[in-house]
Amino acid sequence: MKEIRQNISAIDLFCGIGGLSFGLMQAGIDVKAGIDIDETCKYIYEKNCNSTFVHQSILDVKGLELNKIFNDNDIKVLAGCAPCQPFSSYTYKADKPDDNRWQLLYEFSRLISETNPDIVTMENVPTLLKFKKAPVFIDFVENLKAQGYIVWFKIVYAPDYGIPQNRKRLVLLASKFGNIELLPATHAPGNYLTVRDTIGHLEKIKSGEQSKTDIIHRSSKLSKKNLERIKQSKPGGSWKKDWDERLKLKCHVSDKGKTYGSVYGRMKWDEPSPTMTTFCTGIGNGRFGHPDQDRAISLREAALFQSFPSNYQFVANAEDFKFQNLTKHIGNAVPPKLAKVIGDSIVKHLKDMGYGKK
């Protein structure tokens, strides 16, 4: 006879400021705790996620500790997004397959073995699938299968799920109960959310200025020359064609630099934004210029592109405001809308299998 278990609870490894936890919570999953090594995430996480922030390195976490957080009769979900910088094509070295940067994903795998959750979900960068000489993702999947999980994974395009940025992410779901997969896409190119849909209503601000009513609607201060550059930039254009020669950087006109045509560029109003990164509030790091205001996007705009709701609390008070910290936290986050889709997919799967709340 099938054991009756209704409550679904989760622990979020590498939780950051709670994008994944918040989305799971919205899907009706009881997030018991988030664990992260960066204590500056604590206020934002606990303020928004109705959960406990555990300041600890994943390397030091033991499965026994996690099982004490879970309730014995709950359906247990272990979730996480290991920091993606080690898996970036910029940092990956094919001749160093044993690089200890892979360790965090192996630690995630270890904790799965030690806690034996019913469901596992992971979100990460698509390049994780490409690393043949350091097959950390293959090892992760094989370890799941060896423990009896049925595994599904796919590269997901964020605009397909109502997220207004050109973001591709690798999403994995694994279940002890049976076949599991992400819910079907909710949007198509004809109704993708755009930059205009997302930030068109916001108060106009200048370079380095802060809104009078919103502490995180604030942009970085541009130098005199960068202000000239953004004024000459056209939405969707490039410094190659738009700028006077005197404004072009030596590094960008080199053979290698010519491939970075989107840096210092402006977004287009009627398309999704570029992928948000940990440097998304600086125009020198990508196409992060506002479509028509002469500045980089603000922290609020970056948060909205990441699908954080407008009432998500990022700062306790003005004294705690740290611009670069927030840029990093927002850029690193799992988009809450994508996290809710993951959570909804888990809930539907469990209902189909006869578990979870009726």
Place of tokens 């080199």: 254
Residue 253: CB atoms within 10 Å: 12
Q: Judge contact between 128 and 152, C-beta under 8 A.
A: no
Ramachandran area for residue 115 (φ above 0: left; ψ -120 to 50: alpha; else beta): alpha
Ramachandran area for residue 286 (φ above 0: left; ψ -120 to 50: alpha; else beta): left
Q: Which of 15, 49, 84, 280 is catalytic?
A: 84
In Å, how far from its chain's centre is CA 147?
A: 28
Tell me whether residue 84 is one of the annotated catalytic residues: yes
3-state secondary structure (DSSP) of residue 31 = strand
Q: Is 144 exposed, middle or buried (0-12, 13-18, 19+ CB in 10 A)?
A: buried
What is each CA distance from 308 to 65, 150, 170, 335, 343, in whole angstroms? 30, 31, 20, 7, 16
Q: Judge contact between 77 and 120, C-beta under 8 A.
A: yes
What is each CA distance from 51 to 10, 29, 68, 69, 157, in whole angstroms? 10, 11, 15, 11, 29
Task: Read off the DSSP letter of residue 218.
Answer: B
Computed over its alpha carbons, how large is the radius of gyration of the chain? 21
What amino acid positions are annotated as catalytic residues?
84
